[in-house]
Amino acid sequence: MHAARGLARRYGIPAIAVLLAVAVTASASGGGRYRVRPGDTLSAIAARYHTTVAALVRLNNLPGKGDLIYAGSVLRVPGASHAAPARSRVVTTTYVVRPGDALYAIAARFHVGWRAIARRNHLSHSLTVYIGQRLRIPRHVAAPSAGPFRGIAVPSRSAVAGMIRSAAAHWGVDPRLALGISWEEAGFNQHMISRVGAVGAMQIMPGTGAWLATYVVHRPLNIYRAQDNVTAGVALLAVLLRETNGNARLAAAGYYQGLASVRDRGMFADTKQYVANVLALRNRF
C-alpha cells in the first residue's frame, strides 16, 4: 500500500487505481471459471488472470464493487472465449523441458492452455514431463493482415530488440532485463496476441497500455505498433523497478503476476519459474 501511495503522489491518481493498474500486466494464462478460495480477494483474482476488478464485476453480475465474493463460489474469468483474436493462425514452437519444469508452468510461459500441449504431445493422464523431452507448443498468433494489425508495418525481431535497447536507455532500465522479459513473453514477436488478449513483443494488456499512456508516458500509445508497445513495456518495467527499489526479481514477478498480487499473496509457482527464466535470459543478452 505504501508503494501504491507513492505512485499515487507521483502520477496524481488514486492509490487503488495504481494497485489495480500495476496488477494488470502482461502475461498470465487462464480462462474459463475460477472457484474462490479462502483468503481470495477480487483484486488478486483479477491480477492472476490479467483483467480488471470492474470486468469481473460485470462478467459475474456481482453486487457493489465485488466485495461480497465468498469461498466456494465460482466466477467466470476472461479466457480464450473472451479474448481470442478474430483471425489467427497456429504456429508450433519446440520446447526442451528443463530441470524444475512442470506442464502448467510451461503452458503459462507460452500463454497456451495445458490441455492443448497435452493433446499435441500425446501426454499420459499423469501429465508428467521429463528433462530433455521435446514438446511441441501450439500457439495462436494474429494473422499478419488480421484485425488491429491491418495496415501496420511489423518490424523484424532484431529490429524490435533494437527498439527495446533504445527504450531501456531512455527509461533508465537495464536493457538486458527488458530484452529477457520480451523474449520470455513473445520472443520479440510483435504479432503475438495471447489467449488473454496481451499484445505484442512486450505482451501489454490494453487496459495497462491506456493507464501507462495517461499517467506515465503522457502521450497516446497504440500497443499494436511495435514502438509504442515497446515503450509501454519498458515504461512499466521502469515503474516496477522504482517501486521495488531496483529489485529485478520482484520487478519481473510484478510484470508477470502483478506487483500488488506478489506483495499480497507471494509469487505463484509459475511466477517463480517465469522470474528464473527471465533472469537466466538476462545473462545471455
* CA 59 to each of CA 24, 33, 46, 78: distance values in angstroms, whole numbers, following the listed order: 17, 11, 12, 8
pLDDT tens profile 208-221: 898 899 999 999 99
Single-letter residue type at 19: L
147 is a domain residue:
no
Q: Write down the pLDDT at residue 89.
A: 63
Distance of CA 128 to the CA centre of its chain: 25
Q: Give the chain's domain count.
A: 3
Q: What pLDDT, on a 0 to 100 scale, did the predictor assign at position 23? A: 36
Q: What is the pLDDT of residues 229-280, one digit of tens each?
A: 999 999 999 999 999 999 999 999 999 888 888 888 899 888 898 999 999 9
Q: What is the DSSP letter of 284?
A: T
Instruction: Give the per-residue pLDDT at 54.
Output: 75
Task: Looking at the structure, tell me whether residues 264 and 177 fall in a common domain.
Answer: yes
- Residue 223 and residue 226: Cα distance in Å, rounded? 7
66 Cα distance to chain centroid: 23
Name the pTM for this structure: 0.58
At 16, list the grid cell.
487503488
In a domain, 71, yes or no: yes
pLDDT tens sequence across 140-175: 654 544 467 878 888 998 999 999 999 999 999 999
Condensed to tens digits (0 to 9), the pLDDT of residues 23-38 reads 334 344 344 677 777 6
Query: Is residue 179 located within the same domain as residue 268?
Result: yes
Is residue 74 in a domain?
yes
Position 46 confidence tier, pLDDT thresholds 50, 70, 90: confident
Whether residues 136 and 166 fall in one domain: no
For residues 170 and 277, membership in a common domain is answered with yes
pLDDT in tens, 218-235: 999 999 999 999 999 999
Distance CA 116, CA 265 (A): 28
- State the chain's mean pLDDT as an integer: 78
pLDDT score for 67: 57
Kindly report, residue by residue over 68-95, the tens digit of the pLDDT.
677 677 787 765 333 333 445 677 888 8
Residue 39 lies in a domain: yes
Cα separation of 106 and 125, whole Å? Answer: 17
For 91, the grid coordinates are: 504456429
CATH number, domain of 157, equals 1.10.530.10
271 is a domain residue? yes
In a domain, 72, yes or no: yes
Residue 10 confidence (pLDDT) above 50 = no
- CATH of residue 70: 3.10.350.10
210 φ, ψ (degrees, to nearest 5): -65, -40
In a domain, 19, yes or no: yes
